[in-house]
Chains A and B, each alone.
Chain A
Amino acid sequence: MEEKIRGFLKERFPEAVLKEEEFRGDLSFFIKPEALVDICQALLESTDLDVKYLCDITTVDWLGHESESEGRFEMVYNLYSLSGKYRFFLKARISGNNPKIATLCDLWPSANWLEREVWDLFGITFEGHPDLTRILLPDEFEGYPLRKDHELHYEQPMFSWNKDDPPEVIK
């Protein structure tokens, strides 16, 4: 099955796939962020590959690591083939200032909430998303908590008892 996917990607998108990596049995393809929607659309439409299941969308923040030069945020798309019983990952690196990438909402309706969560927690804008608002945090929250430069023990002044105090960092 991995031969079919590798062959498909090499023949349809030879310049978009930057490199391929296998780690502990999981196969990932590093792609250019601009080619994401085209690749996903081609995978959905191809009849012999049957990659119709988007399992997960997430991000890794590589702030402070040596690989940050390639791009601070690494978007990870977890795709699964139900009939081939095969899982692979599409990874794309995007830069740290004003991070954005195209949305997959037109291809998979489940991408709506998954991308809203990534926006809420990391601050990555998805271009073309119908409703990019906070989903897990309160609407008045400032900042993107899961980024590495946001403190874990940070109490935002939101209530009447602490709204005039400076934000407290509980140690």
Chain B
Amino acid sequence: MSESRILTVNMGPQHPSTHGVLRVVLELDGETVISARPVVGYLHTGIEKTLESKLYNKAIPCTDRMDYLAPMSNNLGYCLAVEKLMEIDVPDKVKWARVILAELTRINSHLVWLGTHAMDLGALSMMLYTFRERESIIDVYEACAGQRMMTTYIRIGGLAWDLPSDFDKKVRTACDNVERGIEDYEKLLTGNQIFLNRTKGIAVISAEDAIAWSLSGPMLRGSGVKRDVRKDDPYSGYENFDFDVCLGKTGDAFDRYKLRVDEMRQSIRIIRQALDGIPEGPYRAHVPGVVLPPKEDILYKMESLIFHFKIITEGFKAPTGSVYQGIESPKGELGFYITGDGTTKARRVRVRPPCFINLACLPVLCEGSLLADVVCAVGTIDIVLGEVDR
């Protein structure tokens, strides 16, 4: 007589396929997963409390370190929320530059996702290919800000410094490299029988379930729900650009793979439109007392010197009230809910983390499937533990 026993297996915090320190406690009956419970918190850094203890300007470097694969979109979300709170309008050149950097960040994040997801499923060389394309994007970051990853380039009211003189050439080179790379990846993976067997029909979630679980980003669009913050609540000038929202049909892992590759192509389309039409102008808004004046003015004008000193040492006072600004980060809807209380520091900075909320639906994706599909499910949600745990 065969007795089925339930075996508890710990897919521990140190594991090659969990993309960081995620722990999944699995209960298996043979190879079938009966329950999969994710345990998070192994990277909790107290970033929200740190953001509340610093002046608004000085908190920007901490936001970089949350979703560390897409650092510029975190900066952008925070700066847009503070600009909404303080009612600052930025010049057009800043909006166009922010769009270009945000889309480059999206391509950057999707490249790392593709490399690690395909590597988990067995295509080991994909990681080497995508990281090669990523180097040309990191070249752009280095030219703008001097840093490869945590750039802190997008500041309140504008950018940290003016765009470099070879920005256009570098971004176009990066776009061409990524386009050639995407063709290579599609040739390798899209028709590959092994990849299709491992992703078609795996980790399926329906549209009603996706809305009930508050998913966002490619997880929601993969199930056919047309929700993209760039189209529904446009920010930073996205209404001026022409692009398609990619949708999936069945909500399985293969649909999300095709969706993210298409998103990379749409990002290149947006970047090329923005580069062709980028206007001239200042790289920072002129709001004395709130936005730091440009460094060149400090050497010649007295008021700039005084404002610079006051903003750096004391900061600016925010009104009492709360704002919410959501942006479409590569992982989903990243939102910043900032409450000002009349002083120079925020009372509450809440980060609405897309990866944390997306990860909560892992039991729905895994239960009833085989053990090897858990790895595919964790990869297709596209988690970054820095954002899950903050």
Residues of chain A at the chain B interface (Cβ within 8 Å): 23-26, 28, 52-56, 58-62, 65, 76, 78, 82, 85, 87, 89, 108-110, 112-114, 117, 121, 134-138, 145-146, 152
Contact = CB atoms under 8 A, between A and B. Distances in A.
Contacts of A145: 46, 49
A146 B53 CA distance: 11
A26 B322 contact: yes
Given A114-B357, A145-B49, A78 B352 contact: yes
Contacts, number: 96
Contacts of B213: 108-110
28 contacts: A24-B87, A26-B324, A53-B214, A54-B214, A55-B214, A55-B335, A56-B352, A58-B348, A60-B339, A60-B347, A61-B347, A62-B347, A65-B341, A76-B337, A76-B350, A78-B324, A85-B233, A87-B233, A89-B324, A108-B213, A109-B212, A109-B360, A110-B212, A112-B360, A136-B44, A145-B49, A146-B48, A152-B53
Contacts of B341: 62, 65
Interface in B40-56: 40-41, 44, 46, 48-50, 53
Interface residues of B, number: 39
B389 interface: yes
A152 B324 CA distance: 24
Contacts of A146: 48-49
Nearest to B45: A136
B29 to A, nearest CB: 22
B102 interface: no
B232 interface: yes
Interface in B332-390: 333, 335, 337, 339, 341, 347-348, 350, 352, 356-357, 360-361, 389-390
B337 A56 contact: yes
B360 A110 contact: yes
A56 B214 CA distance: 9
B182 interface: no
A113 B41 contact: no
A109 B352 CA distance: 16
A23 B41 contact: no
B164 interface: no
A52 B347 contact: no
B387 to A, nearest CB: 12
B321 interface: yes
Contacts of A113: 356-357, 360
Given A24-B85, A26-B323, A146-B48, A56 B225 contact: no
Nearest to A44: B212
B211 interface: yes
A134 B339 CA distance: 25
B230 interface: no
A50 B164 CA distance: 47
Given A55-B214, A82-B225, A137 B87 contact: no
B333 to A, nearest CB: 7
A34 B74 CA distance: 36
B335 A85 contact: no
Contacts of A56: 335, 337, 350, 352
A65 B190 CA distance: 57
A117 B41 CA distance: 10
Contacts of A55: 214, 326, 333, 335, 352
Contacts of A82: 211, 225, 227
Contacts of A59: 348
Given A26-B322, A114-B357, A152 B337 contact: no
A52 B211 contact: yes
Nearest to A131: B37
